[in-house]
Structure 1
Amino acid sequence: MKKIFLCCAAGMSTSMVVSKMEKAATEKGIDVKVIAVGMDEFEATLPDYDCCLLGPQIKYKFAEFKAKGEVLGKPVAVINAMDYGMMKGEKILNEALAMIG
């Protein structure tokens, strides 16, 4: 099972994206766990997940979070603002899976 977490300012708006990603995974028969956390939970969550996607509203944290991810060999990326705003769960899921490899 692939484990992906989304990180945003408070974990709220991102939970809707999580639902869309889970729906896309179910439709494709992909075994994946997706959660949303606030940025204060980033470091505690990172070791247990395969990758992290940051909400566009916290992209200013990208360099810091990417460095922390590299220490553990975990990729970190920022979700495309247009995909995020339009809740393109399948596209965001595909990008996360590509990061994991």
Structure 2
Amino acid sequence: MKKIVLLCAAGMSTSMLVKKMEEAAAAMNFEADIAAYSVSEVKEVTKDADLVLLGPQVRYQLSKIKEDVSCPVEAIDMAAYGMMDGKAVMKRAVELIGE
């Protein structure tokens, strides 16, 4: 099972995307633990993460977060985020994890 961490300003709006990603992962037969947190929790929640995705509202912190974690980090595509397109985000997540 892969651990995917989504980070946003407060962990609220991204929680909706988590649900859509979980549905997409199930349809893809991809086992993943997906959760959303506030970017302020980065050090606590990314210790064993396989991937960290940033909400558009915190994408400006990308380079700093890359320094803090040892897994791939990417900002979520704004269009996919805005449309809450869990399938597109999940597809990209699988690519980044390398599965």
TM range (shorter): over 0.9
Stretches of structure 1 that go unaligned for 5 or more consecutive residues are none
- Alignment root-mean-square deviation, CA: 0.8
Equivalences for residues 1-101 of structure 1 within 5 A: 1-69=1-69, 72=70, 74-101=71-98
Aligned residues: 98
> Which amino acid counterpart does residue 26 of structure 1 have in structure 2?
A
More helix by share: 1
C-alpha distance in 1, partners of 2:87/2:48? Answer: 23
> Which amino acid counterpart does residue 97 of structure 1 have in structure 2?
V
Residues 18-69 of structure 1 show CA distances to partners (whole Å, capped at 9, x for unaligned) of 0000001112221111000001111111112101000000011111001222
C-alpha distance in 1, partners of 2:22/2:42? Answer: 20
**TM-score scaled by structure 1?**
0.93
**TM-score scaled by structure 2?**
0.94
SS of equivalent residue, structure 2 residue 6:
strand
